[in-house]
Amino acid sequence: MKTDWGTAVVGLVATIAFIAPFVVMYRKRVKREKRMYNSLKTNAKQQNTSIGEHEFCGDFAIGINDTQEQIFFFKNKKGEEINQFVNLSEIQKCELIKKGREIKSSSMHSTHSVSILFYTLDKKKPHTEFELFHEETNLQLSGELQLGEKWCNKINSLLKTKK
């Protein structure tokens, strides 16, 4: 049986052309997540602690240090890097805030923003808000609601066990 090198080369080029975009997207995502994680670590280092569990979603990362009960947040919002942290010893509770509106012609709901709001024990101190999603900077929701609910539950359970 004779090998048709022309067909083999065309097949190889087509395979590479099909796979290349996925490889490029994967490498970009890994690079972006590494940069976000390094920002979380730097923020934690400034507080003399480290990051334990962490997660990424779109343009933000959230992490926690369970032993010292601190939450760290990093977001890249239109080129502006936002680093925040919350010490849970100063927090009463946290809540997932979803802002949006109902669409009258149907039973659909339009979400404008999603954030985690930390209520302080000292009423004179301002509350801290981690903005997970805002329609002006993100095109659509991509897991921010689920991640926000998961982290609010985790943080509130930590707050209950320390009381």
Hey, how many other C-beta atoms are within 10 angstroms of the C-beta on 150? 14
Q: How many domains does the chain have?
A: 1
Range of the domain at 158: 5-162
pTM (global) more than 0.95: no
CB distance 121 to 162 below 8 Å: no
CA distance 78 to 96: 23
CB distance 94 to 116 below 8 Å: yes
Tens of pLDDT along the chain (163 residues) come to 566 888 888 999 999 999 999 999 999 999 989 999 999 999 999 988 889 899 998 889 999 986 778 999 999 887 788 999 999 888 999 999 998 876 666 677 778 889 999 999 888 888 999 999 988 888 788 889 999 999 999 999 888 876 5
54-79 burial by CB neighbour count: b if 16+ within 10 A, else e?
A: bebbbbbbbbbbeeebbbbbbbbeee
